[in-house]
Chain A
Amino acid sequence: MARAVTTQRKALNTTLAWIIGLLIFFPILWTILTSFKTEAEAIANPPVFLFFDWTLENYAVVQERSNYMRFLWNSVIIAGGSTILGVLIAVPAAWSMAFVPSRRTKDILLWMLSTKMLPAVGVLYPIYLLCIQLGVLDNRLALVVILMLINLPIIVWMLYTYFREIPGEILEAARMDGAGLKEEILYVLTPMAIPGIASTLLLNFILAWNEAFWTLNLTSVDAAPLTAFIASYSSPEGLFFAKLSAASTMAIAPILILGWFSQKQLVRGLTFGAVK
Protein backbone atom coordinates (compact mmCIF):
# COMPACT_ATOMS: atom_id res chain seq x y z
CA MET A 1 0.00 0.00 0.00
CA ALA A 2 1.24 3.46 -0.83
CA ARG A 3 1.96 5.74 2.04
CA ALA A 4 -0.54 8.42 2.86
CA VAL A 5 0.87 11.81 1.99
CA THR A 6 -0.35 15.23 2.94
CA THR A 7 -1.71 17.41 0.17
CA GLN A 8 0.89 19.99 1.02
CA ARG A 9 3.71 17.52 0.48
CA LYS A 10 2.15 16.36 -2.75
CA ALA A 11 1.87 19.93 -4.01
CA LEU A 12 5.54 20.51 -3.22
CA ASN A 13 6.57 17.34 -5.07
CA THR A 14 4.44 18.31 -8.02
CA THR A 15 5.86 21.83 -8.26
CA LEU A 16 9.46 20.69 -7.97
CA ALA A 17 9.05 17.84 -10.45
CA TRP A 18 7.30 20.03 -13.01
CA ILE A 19 9.97 22.72 -12.78
CA ILE A 20 12.76 20.20 -13.30
CA GLY A 21 10.83 18.37 -16.01
CA LEU A 22 10.21 21.58 -17.93
CA LEU A 23 13.85 22.64 -17.55
CA ILE A 24 15.04 19.35 -19.01
CA PHE A 25 12.48 19.55 -21.80
CA PHE A 26 13.13 23.22 -22.47
CA PRO A 27 15.74 22.86 -25.28
CA ILE A 28 13.24 20.78 -27.25
CA LEU A 29 10.38 23.17 -26.55
CA TRP A 30 12.56 26.13 -27.49
CA THR A 31 13.58 24.46 -30.76
CA ILE A 32 9.95 23.81 -31.66
CA LEU A 33 8.92 27.39 -30.80
CA THR A 34 11.85 28.90 -32.69
CA SER A 35 10.94 26.95 -35.79
CA PHE A 36 7.79 29.07 -36.08
CA LYS A 37 9.58 32.42 -35.76
CA THR A 38 11.18 34.65 -38.34
CA GLU A 39 14.97 34.71 -38.30
CA ALA A 40 14.95 38.14 -36.66
CA GLU A 41 12.63 37.01 -33.88
CA ALA A 42 14.69 33.86 -33.39
CA ILE A 43 17.68 35.84 -32.15
CA ALA A 44 15.73 38.68 -30.50
CA ASN A 45 16.99 39.93 -27.14
CA PRO A 46 15.07 39.71 -24.86
CA PRO A 47 13.85 36.40 -26.32
CA VAL A 48 10.19 36.12 -27.27
CA PHE A 49 8.32 33.06 -26.09
CA LEU A 50 4.79 32.88 -27.44
CA PHE A 51 3.88 36.33 -28.65
CA PHE A 52 5.42 36.48 -32.07
CA ASP A 53 4.02 36.17 -35.57
CA TRP A 54 3.75 32.43 -36.01
CA THR A 55 4.92 31.43 -39.47
CA LEU A 56 5.42 28.20 -41.40
CA GLU A 57 7.87 29.86 -43.75
CA ASN A 58 10.95 28.08 -42.33
CA TYR A 59 9.49 24.68 -43.05
CA ALA A 60 8.87 25.66 -46.65
CA VAL A 61 12.37 27.07 -47.02
CA VAL A 62 14.04 24.00 -45.54
CA GLN A 63 12.11 21.68 -47.80
CA GLU A 64 12.78 23.81 -50.87
CA ARG A 65 16.46 24.41 -50.25
CA SER A 66 17.56 20.97 -49.15
CA ASN A 67 14.95 18.58 -50.38
CA TYR A 68 14.13 17.47 -46.87
CA MET A 69 11.86 14.69 -48.10
CA ARG A 70 14.76 12.79 -49.62
CA PHE A 71 16.63 12.70 -46.30
CA LEU A 72 13.48 11.72 -44.48
CA TRP A 73 12.89 8.93 -46.95
CA ASN A 74 16.47 7.69 -46.49
CA SER A 75 16.00 7.67 -42.72
CA VAL A 76 12.79 5.71 -43.04
CA ILE A 77 14.36 3.16 -45.40
CA ILE A 78 17.54 2.74 -43.37
CA ALA A 79 15.93 2.61 -39.93
CA GLY A 80 12.90 0.61 -41.07
CA GLY A 81 14.81 -1.75 -43.34
CA SER A 82 17.52 -2.56 -40.81
CA THR A 83 14.97 -3.14 -38.06
CA ILE A 84 12.71 -5.43 -40.07
CA LEU A 85 15.62 -7.38 -41.49
CA GLY A 86 17.12 -7.70 -38.03
CA VAL A 87 13.89 -8.98 -36.50
CA LEU A 88 13.42 -11.50 -39.33
CA ILE A 89 16.86 -12.94 -38.60
CA ALA A 90 16.58 -12.67 -34.83
CA VAL A 91 13.14 -14.23 -34.27
CA PRO A 92 14.18 -17.79 -35.12
CA ALA A 93 17.41 -17.44 -33.16
CA ALA A 94 15.71 -16.03 -30.07
CA TRP A 95 12.94 -18.63 -30.37
CA SER A 96 15.35 -21.53 -30.35
CA MET A 97 17.38 -20.08 -27.48
CA ALA A 98 14.32 -19.47 -25.36
CA PHE A 99 12.53 -22.77 -25.96
CA VAL A 100 15.25 -25.25 -26.82
CA PRO A 101 18.09 -24.03 -24.61
CA SER A 102 21.29 -25.98 -24.65
CA ARG A 103 24.38 -25.77 -22.51
CA ARG A 104 25.88 -23.22 -24.84
CA THR A 105 22.88 -20.91 -25.11
CA LYS A 106 24.12 -18.60 -22.39
CA ASP A 107 27.58 -18.37 -23.92
CA ILE A 108 26.14 -17.61 -27.35
CA LEU A 109 23.93 -14.86 -25.91
CA LEU A 110 26.82 -13.29 -24.07
CA TRP A 111 29.07 -13.56 -27.10
CA MET A 112 26.43 -11.81 -29.23
CA LEU A 113 26.30 -9.04 -26.66
CA SER A 114 30.08 -8.71 -26.77
CA THR A 115 29.97 -7.94 -30.50
CA LYS A 116 27.78 -4.97 -29.61
CA MET A 117 30.54 -3.68 -27.35
CA LEU A 118 33.02 -3.49 -30.22
CA PRO A 119 33.78 0.24 -30.62
CA ALA A 120 32.71 1.32 -34.09
CA VAL A 121 35.77 3.49 -34.57
CA GLY A 122 37.98 0.41 -34.16
CA VAL A 123 36.61 -1.06 -37.37
CA LEU A 124 35.87 2.20 -39.20
CA TYR A 125 38.49 1.81 -41.89
CA PRO A 126 37.84 -1.85 -42.73
CA ILE A 127 34.14 -1.15 -43.18
CA TYR A 128 34.87 2.02 -45.14
CA LEU A 129 37.29 0.13 -47.39
CA LEU A 130 34.89 -2.78 -47.91
CA CYS A 131 32.17 -0.32 -48.89
CA ILE A 132 34.45 1.35 -51.44
CA GLN A 133 35.57 -1.94 -52.93
CA LEU A 134 32.05 -3.29 -53.15
CA GLY A 135 30.96 0.04 -54.63
CA VAL A 136 28.41 0.65 -51.88
CA LEU A 137 29.75 3.78 -50.21
CA ASP A 138 26.85 6.21 -49.85
CA ASN A 139 24.41 3.38 -50.50
CA ARG A 140 21.20 2.82 -48.57
CA LEU A 141 21.33 -0.95 -48.75
CA ALA A 142 24.81 -1.01 -47.24
CA LEU A 143 23.60 1.08 -44.31
CA VAL A 144 20.56 -1.14 -43.87
CA VAL A 145 22.86 -4.14 -43.53
CA ILE A 146 25.38 -2.39 -41.26
CA LEU A 147 22.78 -0.95 -38.88
CA MET A 148 21.03 -4.32 -38.85
CA LEU A 149 24.27 -5.98 -37.75
CA ILE A 150 24.92 -3.31 -35.13
CA ASN A 151 21.49 -3.75 -33.56
CA LEU A 152 21.14 -7.50 -34.09
CA PRO A 153 22.53 -8.36 -30.63
CA ILE A 154 20.01 -6.05 -28.94
CA ILE A 155 17.19 -7.43 -31.07
CA VAL A 156 18.07 -11.04 -30.23
CA TRP A 157 18.36 -10.17 -26.55
CA MET A 158 15.08 -8.30 -26.35
CA LEU A 159 13.19 -11.02 -28.17
CA TYR A 160 14.87 -13.66 -26.01
CA THR A 161 13.76 -11.98 -22.77
CA TYR A 162 10.22 -11.64 -24.11
CA PHE A 163 10.04 -15.20 -25.42
CA ARG A 164 11.33 -16.59 -22.16
CA GLU A 165 8.28 -15.22 -20.43
CA ILE A 166 6.00 -17.36 -22.59
CA PRO A 167 5.28 -20.50 -20.57
CA GLY A 168 6.85 -23.58 -22.14
CA GLU A 169 3.92 -25.79 -21.01
CA ILE A 170 1.73 -24.19 -23.64
CA LEU A 171 4.07 -25.46 -26.31
CA GLU A 172 4.09 -28.93 -24.85
CA ALA A 173 0.31 -28.97 -24.75
CA ALA A 174 0.19 -27.93 -28.39
CA ARG A 175 2.71 -30.61 -29.24
CA MET A 176 0.61 -33.26 -27.55
CA ASP A 177 -2.38 -32.10 -29.52
CA GLY A 178 -0.36 -32.99 -32.58
CA ALA A 179 0.98 -29.61 -33.60
CA GLY A 180 4.19 -29.75 -35.62
CA LEU A 181 6.96 -27.22 -35.44
CA LYS A 182 5.30 -25.09 -38.10
CA GLU A 183 1.88 -25.02 -36.44
CA GLU A 184 3.54 -24.43 -33.10
CA ILE A 185 5.24 -21.28 -34.33
CA LEU A 186 2.38 -20.05 -36.47
CA TYR A 187 -0.63 -20.59 -34.22
CA VAL A 188 0.68 -20.78 -30.67
CA LEU A 189 3.85 -18.79 -30.43
CA THR A 190 3.29 -15.92 -32.83
CA PRO A 191 0.11 -14.54 -31.24
CA MET A 192 1.76 -14.63 -27.82
CA ALA A 193 5.00 -13.14 -29.07
CA ILE A 194 3.53 -10.26 -31.05
CA PRO A 195 3.63 -7.67 -28.23
CA GLY A 196 7.30 -8.45 -27.59
CA ILE A 197 8.14 -8.30 -31.27
CA ALA A 198 6.32 -4.98 -31.62
CA SER A 199 8.26 -3.50 -28.71
CA THR A 200 11.51 -4.73 -30.20
CA LEU A 201 10.68 -3.23 -33.58
CA LEU A 202 9.82 0.09 -31.96
CA LEU A 203 12.94 0.47 -29.84
CA ASN A 204 15.30 -0.64 -32.58
CA PHE A 205 13.68 1.65 -35.11
CA ILE A 206 14.45 4.52 -32.74
CA LEU A 207 18.04 3.40 -32.18
CA ALA A 208 18.64 3.05 -35.91
CA TRP A 209 16.97 6.39 -36.66
CA ASN A 210 19.32 8.18 -34.29
CA GLU A 211 22.49 6.28 -35.18
CA ALA A 212 25.09 8.89 -36.04
CA PHE A 213 28.47 7.25 -36.53
CA TRP A 214 28.05 5.07 -39.59
CA THR A 215 25.42 7.29 -41.15
CA LEU A 216 27.78 10.28 -40.94
CA ASN A 217 30.88 8.45 -42.11
CA LEU A 218 29.47 6.26 -44.87
CA THR A 219 27.12 8.64 -46.64
CA SER A 220 27.53 11.85 -48.60
CA VAL A 221 24.61 12.62 -50.90
CA ASP A 222 22.46 9.76 -52.13
CA ALA A 223 21.99 7.74 -48.97
CA ALA A 224 22.31 10.53 -46.38
CA PRO A 225 19.61 10.26 -43.72
CA LEU A 226 18.40 12.99 -41.36
CA THR A 227 21.40 12.69 -39.02
CA ALA A 228 23.67 13.76 -41.87
CA PHE A 229 21.17 16.35 -43.10
CA ILE A 230 21.23 18.07 -39.72
CA ALA A 231 25.02 17.82 -39.53
CA SER A 232 25.17 19.88 -42.73
CA TYR A 233 23.86 22.79 -40.64
CA SER A 234 27.04 22.83 -38.57
CA SER A 235 28.60 25.32 -40.99
CA PRO A 236 25.95 28.05 -41.12
CA GLU A 237 25.50 30.86 -43.62
CA GLY A 238 23.88 34.03 -42.34
CA LEU A 239 20.85 33.94 -40.08
CA PHE A 240 19.73 30.38 -39.69
CA PHE A 241 18.41 29.66 -36.17
CA ALA A 242 14.79 29.43 -37.26
CA LYS A 243 15.65 27.21 -40.21
CA LEU A 244 17.88 25.02 -38.08
CA SER A 245 14.98 24.71 -35.65
CA ALA A 246 12.52 23.79 -38.36
CA ALA A 247 14.86 21.15 -39.75
CA SER A 248 15.54 19.81 -36.25
CA THR A 249 11.87 19.69 -35.35
CA MET A 250 11.10 17.69 -38.47
CA ALA A 251 13.98 15.30 -37.74
CA ILE A 252 13.01 14.57 -34.14
CA ALA A 253 9.22 14.86 -34.10
CA PRO A 254 8.36 11.38 -35.41
CA ILE A 255 10.83 9.70 -33.07
CA LEU A 256 9.76 11.70 -30.00
CA ILE A 257 6.23 10.46 -30.48
CA LEU A 258 7.35 6.86 -30.98
CA GLY A 259 9.75 7.20 -28.08
CA TRP A 260 7.05 8.10 -25.63
CA PHE A 261 5.39 4.78 -26.36
CA SER A 262 8.58 2.84 -25.80
CA GLN A 263 9.74 3.97 -22.35
CA LYS A 264 9.26 0.58 -20.73
CA GLN A 265 10.89 -1.32 -23.58
CA LEU A 266 13.81 1.06 -23.43
CA VAL A 267 14.73 -0.14 -19.95
CA ARG A 268 14.50 -3.78 -20.90
CA GLY A 269 16.17 -3.37 -24.27
CA LEU A 270 19.15 -1.34 -23.20
CA THR A 271 19.93 -3.15 -19.97
CA PHE A 272 19.66 -6.56 -21.66
CA GLY A 273 17.04 -7.70 -19.22
CA ALA A 274 19.19 -6.91 -16.19
CA VAL A 275 16.74 -4.25 -14.96
CA LYS A 276 13.04 -4.79 -15.43
Chain B
Amino acid sequence: MATQHSRSAARIMMAPAVFLLLVWMLVPLSMTLWFSVRSYLPLRGGDQGFVGLENFTRFVTSSAFWPAILTTLIIVGGVLLISIVFGILLAMLLDQPMWGQGVVRILVIAPFFVMPTVSALVWKNMFMDPVNGLFAHLWRFFGADPIVWLSDASVFSIIMIVSWQWLPFATLILLTAIQSLDSEQLEAAEMDGANPLARFAFITLPHLSRAITIVILIQTIFLLAVFAEIFVTTGGAFGTRTLTYLIYQRVLESQNVGLGSAGGVYAIILANIVAIFLMRIVGKNLDR
Protein backbone atom coordinates (compact mmCIF):
# COMPACT_ATOMS: atom_id res chain seq x y z
CA MET B 1 0.00 0.00 0.00
CA ALA B 2 2.87 2.32 0.71
CA THR B 3 4.11 4.39 -2.16
CA GLN B 4 7.73 4.88 -3.11
CA HIS B 5 7.41 8.41 -1.86
CA SER B 6 6.17 7.48 1.60
CA ARG B 7 8.83 4.79 1.84
CA SER B 8 11.70 7.18 1.42
CA ALA B 9 9.98 9.62 3.76
CA ALA B 10 9.70 6.82 6.30
CA ARG B 11 13.40 6.11 6.01
CA ILE B 12 14.25 9.75 6.64
CA MET B 13 11.98 9.84 9.67
CA MET B 14 13.65 6.80 11.13
CA ALA B 15 17.18 8.01 10.46
CA PRO B 16 17.80 10.23 13.53
CA ALA B 17 16.79 7.55 16.03
CA VAL B 18 18.71 4.81 14.25
CA PHE B 19 21.79 6.98 13.77
CA LEU B 20 21.88 8.14 17.40
CA LEU B 21 21.49 4.64 18.79
CA LEU B 22 24.12 3.33 16.40
CA VAL B 23 26.62 5.93 17.58
CA TRP B 24 25.60 5.40 21.20
CA MET B 25 26.24 1.69 20.84
CA LEU B 26 29.32 1.58 18.61
CA VAL B 27 31.50 4.37 19.98
CA PRO B 28 31.59 3.38 23.67
CA LEU B 29 31.60 -0.30 22.82
CA SER B 30 34.60 -0.06 20.53
CA MET B 31 36.37 2.11 23.13
CA THR B 32 35.75 -0.55 25.77
CA LEU B 33 37.09 -3.22 23.43
CA TRP B 34 40.12 -1.06 22.66
CA PHE B 35 40.91 -0.39 26.33
CA SER B 36 40.38 -4.04 27.22
CA VAL B 37 43.46 -5.12 25.26
CA ARG B 38 45.70 -2.36 26.57
CA SER B 39 47.41 -1.65 29.84
CA TYR B 40 45.75 1.65 30.67
CA LEU B 41 46.18 3.30 34.07
CA PRO B 42 45.16 6.97 33.76
CA LEU B 43 46.72 7.98 37.08
CA ARG B 44 49.80 5.77 36.90
CA GLY B 45 51.49 6.23 33.54
CA GLY B 46 48.51 6.34 31.21
CA ASP B 47 48.32 4.07 28.20
CA GLN B 48 51.20 1.58 28.32
CA GLY B 49 50.46 -0.24 25.13
CA PHE B 50 48.96 -3.42 23.80
CA VAL B 51 48.88 -6.38 26.15
CA GLY B 52 46.79 -8.89 24.22
CA LEU B 53 44.34 -10.84 26.28
CA GLU B 54 46.22 -10.36 29.54
CA ASN B 55 43.47 -8.18 31.07
CA PHE B 56 40.90 -10.86 30.34
CA THR B 57 42.88 -13.60 32.06
CA ARG B 58 43.85 -11.32 34.93
CA PHE B 59 40.24 -10.31 35.51
CA VAL B 60 39.01 -13.88 35.85
CA THR B 61 42.00 -15.09 37.86
CA SER B 62 41.89 -12.24 40.39
CA SER B 63 40.77 -13.36 43.84
CA ALA B 64 37.77 -11.04 43.66
CA PHE B 65 36.29 -12.53 40.48
CA TRP B 66 34.62 -15.77 41.59
CA PRO B 67 33.21 -14.33 44.83
CA ALA B 68 31.75 -11.49 42.75
CA ILE B 69 30.16 -13.94 40.32
CA LEU B 70 28.78 -15.96 43.20
CA THR B 71 27.36 -12.83 44.89
CA THR B 72 25.82 -11.73 41.61
CA LEU B 73 24.16 -15.11 41.13
CA ILE B 74 22.87 -15.21 44.71
CA ILE B 75 21.44 -11.70 44.52
CA VAL B 76 19.87 -12.14 41.07
CA GLY B 77 18.58 -15.63 41.93
CA GLY B 78 17.31 -14.61 45.36
CA VAL B 79 15.42 -11.58 44.11
CA LEU B 80 13.97 -13.56 41.20
CA LEU B 81 12.79 -16.33 43.49
CA ILE B 82 11.18 -13.94 45.97
CA SER B 83 9.56 -11.71 43.37
CA ILE B 84 8.20 -14.59 41.25
CA VAL B 85 6.85 -16.75 44.10
CA PHE B 86 5.33 -13.90 46.08
CA GLY B 87 4.40 -12.11 42.87
CA ILE B 88 2.24 -15.06 41.75
CA LEU B 89 0.60 -15.39 45.18
CA LEU B 90 -0.03 -11.68 45.43
CA ALA B 91 -1.36 -11.42 41.89
CA MET B 92 -3.79 -14.26 42.57
CA LEU B 93 -4.94 -12.59 45.75
CA LEU B 94 -5.39 -9.20 44.09
CA ASP B 95 -7.40 -10.83 41.32
CA GLN B 96 -10.03 -11.94 43.85
CA PRO B 97 -13.09 -9.80 44.47
CA MET B 98 -12.56 -7.48 47.44
CA TRP B 99 -13.30 -4.02 48.77
CA GLY B 100 -10.84 -1.29 47.93
CA GLN B 101 -8.98 -3.27 45.27
CA GLY B 102 -7.74 -0.13 43.52
CA VAL B 103 -6.22 1.26 46.70
CA VAL B 104 -4.48 -2.01 47.57
CA ARG B 105 -3.01 -2.12 44.08
CA ILE B 106 -1.63 1.37 44.56
CA LEU B 107 -0.10 0.40 47.90
CA VAL B 108 1.54 -2.68 46.41
CA ILE B 109 2.95 -0.97 43.32
CA ALA B 110 4.31 2.10 45.15
CA PRO B 111 7.83 0.80 45.99
CA PHE B 112 8.65 0.49 42.31
CA PHE B 113 8.45 4.26 41.96
CA VAL B 114 10.84 4.99 44.81
CA MET B 115 14.26 5.96 43.53
CA PRO B 116 16.93 3.33 44.32
CA THR B 117 19.07 5.61 46.49
CA VAL B 118 16.07 6.48 48.66
CA SER B 119 14.89 2.92 49.17
CA ALA B 120 18.40 1.71 49.95
CA LEU B 121 19.04 4.47 52.50
CA VAL B 122 15.63 4.19 54.14
CA TRP B 123 16.09 0.46 54.62
CA LYS B 124 19.69 0.83 55.72
CA ASN B 125 18.97 3.42 58.39
CA MET B 126 15.39 3.33 59.53
CA PHE B 127 14.99 -0.45 59.43
CA MET B 128 18.38 -2.15 59.48
CA ASP B 129 20.36 0.18 61.73
CA PRO B 130 21.58 -2.05 64.57
CA VAL B 131 20.96 0.62 67.24
CA ASN B 132 18.01 2.75 66.16
CA GLY B 133 16.44 0.79 63.34
CA LEU B 134 12.91 -0.59 63.63
CA PHE B 135 14.19 -4.16 63.31
CA ALA B 136 16.54 -3.56 66.24
CA HIS B 137 13.62 -2.28 68.33
CA LEU B 138 11.60 -5.32 67.32
CA TRP B 139 14.41 -7.76 68.14
CA ARG B 140 14.98 -6.15 71.54
CA PHE B 141 11.24 -6.27 72.24
CA PHE B 142 11.45 -10.04 71.94
CA GLY B 143 14.59 -10.09 74.04
CA ALA B 144 16.96 -10.93 71.18
CA ASP B 145 20.20 -9.23 70.22
CA PRO B 146 19.68 -6.95 67.22
CA ILE B 147 21.27 -8.18 64.01
CA VAL B 148 23.89 -5.99 62.35
CA TRP B 149 22.11 -6.49 59.04
CA LEU B 150 24.41 -4.90 56.53
CA SER B 151 27.58 -6.56 57.77
CA ASP B 152 26.46 -9.86 59.30
CA ALA B 153 23.68 -10.65 56.82
CA SER B 154 24.82 -8.29 54.08
CA VAL B 155 23.86 -10.23 50.95
CA PHE B 156 20.51 -11.17 52.44
CA SER B 157 19.87 -7.51 53.29
CA ILE B 158 20.63 -6.40 49.74
CA ILE B 159 18.30 -9.12 48.44
CA MET B 160 15.56 -7.82 50.73
CA ILE B 161 15.98 -4.21 49.64
CA VAL B 162 16.07 -5.06 45.94
CA SER B 163 13.16 -7.52 46.26
CA TRP B 164 11.08 -4.81 47.86
CA GLN B 165 11.63 -2.73 44.73
CA TRP B 166 10.99 -5.50 42.20
CA LEU B 167 8.18 -7.51 43.79
CA PRO B 168 5.69 -4.78 42.74
CA PHE B 169 6.88 -5.00 39.15
CA ALA B 170 6.48 -8.79 39.04
CA THR B 171 3.10 -8.58 40.76
CA LEU B 172 1.80 -5.98 38.34
CA ILE B 173 2.85 -7.92 35.23
CA LEU B 174 1.53 -11.22 36.59
CA LEU B 175 -1.72 -9.57 37.66
CA THR B 176 -2.18 -8.22 34.15
CA ALA B 177 -1.61 -11.71 32.77
CA ILE B 178 -3.91 -13.38 35.31
CA GLN B 179 -6.74 -11.01 34.47
CA SER B 180 -6.75 -12.28 30.89
CA LEU B 181 -7.42 -15.82 32.19
CA ASP B 182 -10.83 -17.07 31.21
CA SER B 183 -12.76 -17.62 34.46
CA GLU B 184 -15.15 -20.02 32.74
CA GLN B 185 -12.27 -22.39 32.22
CA LEU B 186 -11.62 -22.38 35.96
CA GLU B 187 -15.30 -22.88 36.72
CA ALA B 188 -15.51 -25.82 34.35
CA ALA B 189 -12.51 -27.42 36.05
CA GLU B 190 -14.08 -26.80 39.42
CA MET B 191 -17.30 -28.50 38.35
CA ASP B 192 -15.30 -31.44 37.06
CA GLY B 193 -14.00 -31.82 40.59
CA ALA B 194 -10.50 -30.35 40.27
CA ASN B 195 -9.27 -29.11 43.67
CA PRO B 196 -7.75 -25.61 44.03
CA LEU B 197 -4.20 -26.95 43.87
CA ALA B 198 -4.90 -28.83 40.65
CA ARG B 199 -6.65 -25.80 39.17
CA PHE B 200 -3.58 -23.72 39.98
CA ALA B 201 -1.09 -26.25 38.63
CA PHE B 202 -2.92 -27.15 35.42
CA ILE B 203 -4.72 -23.95 34.45
CA THR B 204 -3.37 -20.82 36.15
CA LEU B 205 0.34 -21.68 36.07
CA PRO B 206 0.47 -22.71 32.39
CA HIS B 207 -1.48 -19.58 31.52
CA LEU B 208 1.11 -17.48 33.37
CA SER B 209 4.18 -19.22 31.97
CA ARG B 210 4.82 -16.62 29.28
CA ALA B 211 4.44 -13.70 31.66
CA ILE B 212 6.71 -15.44 34.17
CA THR B 213 9.38 -15.94 31.53
CA ILE B 214 9.19 -12.29 30.57
CA VAL B 215 9.42 -11.15 34.18
CA ILE B 216 12.46 -13.38 34.72
CA LEU B 217 14.26 -12.10 31.64
CA ILE B 218 13.54 -8.40 32.14
CA GLN B 219 14.35 -8.50 35.84
CA THR B 220 17.56 -10.42 35.21
CA ILE B 221 18.79 -7.70 32.89
CA PHE B 222 18.01 -4.99 35.45
CA LEU B 223 19.24 -7.03 38.41
CA LEU B 224 22.60 -7.78 36.81
CA ALA B 225 23.08 -4.01 36.73
CA VAL B 226 22.06 -3.28 40.35
CA PHE B 227 24.35 -0.50 41.50
CA ALA B 228 22.91 2.29 43.65
CA GLU B 229 21.58 -0.11 46.29
CA ILE B 230 25.11 -1.39 46.93
CA PHE B 231 26.78 1.98 46.43
CA VAL B 232 24.91 3.66 49.31
CA THR B 233 24.66 0.70 51.72
CA THR B 234 27.82 -1.38 51.91
CA GLY B 235 29.94 0.15 49.15
CA GLY B 236 30.75 -3.38 48.03
CA ALA B 237 32.09 -4.48 51.43
CA PHE B 238 31.01 -7.55 53.44
CA GLY B 239 30.76 -9.80 50.41
CA THR B 240 28.26 -7.68 48.49
CA ARG B 241 30.57 -6.95 45.57
CA THR B 242 28.73 -8.01 42.43
CA LEU B 243 30.24 -8.22 38.96
CA THR B 244 28.87 -4.77 38.12
CA TYR B 245 30.30 -3.30 41.31
CA LEU B 246 33.67 -5.01 40.80
CA ILE B 247 33.97 -3.47 37.35
CA TYR B 248 32.95 -0.08 38.70
CA GLN B 249 35.67 -0.31 41.36
CA ARG B 250 38.32 -1.36 38.86
CA VAL B 251 37.45 1.44 36.47
CA LEU B 252 36.67 4.45 38.64
CA GLU B 253 38.04 3.67 42.11
CA SER B 254 41.37 2.02 41.31
CA GLN B 255 41.50 3.56 37.82
CA ASN B 256 42.68 0.38 36.15
CA VAL B 257 40.81 0.97 32.94
CA GLY B 258 42.30 -1.92 30.95
CA LEU B 259 41.34 -4.48 33.56
CA GLY B 260 37.93 -2.93 34.17
CA SER B 261 37.17 -2.82 30.47
CA ALA B 262 37.95 -6.52 30.14
CA GLY B 263 35.45 -7.04 32.96
CA GLY B 264 33.01 -4.83 31.09
CA VAL B 265 33.30 -7.07 28.04
CA TYR B 266 32.43 -10.07 30.22
CA ALA B 267 29.40 -8.22 31.62
CA ILE B 268 28.24 -7.34 28.11
CA ILE B 269 28.52 -10.97 27.01
CA LEU B 270 26.63 -12.14 30.09
CA ALA B 271 23.81 -9.63 29.56
CA ASN B 272 23.59 -10.57 25.90
CA ILE B 273 23.06 -14.24 26.69
CA VAL B 274 19.97 -13.25 28.68
CA ALA B 275 18.94 -10.68 26.10
CA ILE B 276 18.89 -13.21 23.24
CA PHE B 277 16.16 -15.21 24.97
CA LEU B 278 14.15 -12.10 25.77
CA MET B 279 14.40 -10.82 22.22
CA ARG B 280 13.21 -14.13 20.84
CA ILE B 281 10.00 -13.92 22.87
CA VAL B 282 9.44 -10.25 22.09
CA GLY B 283 10.19 -10.90 18.41
CA LYS B 284 7.64 -13.71 18.22
CA ASN B 285 5.09 -11.36 19.67
CA LEU B 286 5.76 -8.84 16.90
CA ASP B 287 4.61 -11.26 14.22
CA ARG B 288 1.17 -11.66 15.64
Contact = CB atoms under 8 A, between A and B. Distances in A.
Contact of B116 (A99, A127, A227): A227
A128 B140 CA distance: 47
Contacts of B261: 125
13 contacts: A14-B99, A20-B93, A21-B107, A113-B282, A119-B244, A125-B264, A129-B31, A152-B17, A234-B124, A244-B122, A252-B113, A255-B115, A266-B172
Given A110-B279, A149-B21, A273 B285 contact: yes
B125 A244 contact: yes
A276 B172 CA distance: 11
A91 to B, nearest CB: 9
A109 B285 CA distance: 12
Interface residues on B, range: 35 or more
Contact of A117 (B172, B227, B275): B275
Interface stretch (A2-10, A51-59, A60-68, A186-194): A2-10
Interface stretch (B48-56, B73-81, B126-134): B126-134
Given A108-B18, A212-B227, A275-B214, A13 B132 contact: no
B37 interface: no
A114 B283 CA distance: 12
Given A21-B108, A125-B251, A212-B117, 20 more contacts: A13-B97, A13-B98, A14-B99, A25-B107, A95-B13, A106-B283, A115-B21, A117-B272, A118-B25, A122-B265, A125-B264, A130-B28, A156-B17, A213-B225, A227-B228, A240-B125, A255-B115, A263-B106, A271-B214, A274-B285
B272 A25 contact: no
A74 to B, nearest CB: 13
A226 B115 CA distance: 9
Interface in B33-71: 35
A21 B267 CA distance: 36
B2 to A, nearest CB: 5
B279 A113 contact: yes
B94 interface: yes
A217 interface: yes
- Chain B: interface secondary structure? helix
Nearest to A122: B264
Interface of A: 1-3, 5, 10, 13-14, 16-18, 20-22, 24-25, 27-28, 30-31, 34, 43, 45-47, 89-90, 92-93, 95-97, 99-100, 102, 106, 108-110, 112-115, 117-130, 149, 152-153, 156, 168, 172, 181, 206, 209-210, 212-213, 216-217, 226-228, 230-231, 233-234, 236, 240-241, 244-245, 248, 251-252, 255-256, 258-260, 263, 266-267, 270-276
A230 B228 CA distance: 11
Interface of B: 1-2, 6-7, 9-11, 13-14, 16-18, 20-21, 24-25, 27-29, 31-32, 35, 90, 93-94, 96-101, 103-119, 121-127, 132, 134, 137, 140-141, 164, 167-169, 172-173, 176-177, 183, 187, 210-211, 214, 218, 221, 224-225, 227-228, 231-233, 244, 247-248, 251-252, 257, 260-261, 264-265, 267-268, 270-272, 274-275, 278-279, 281-283, 285-287
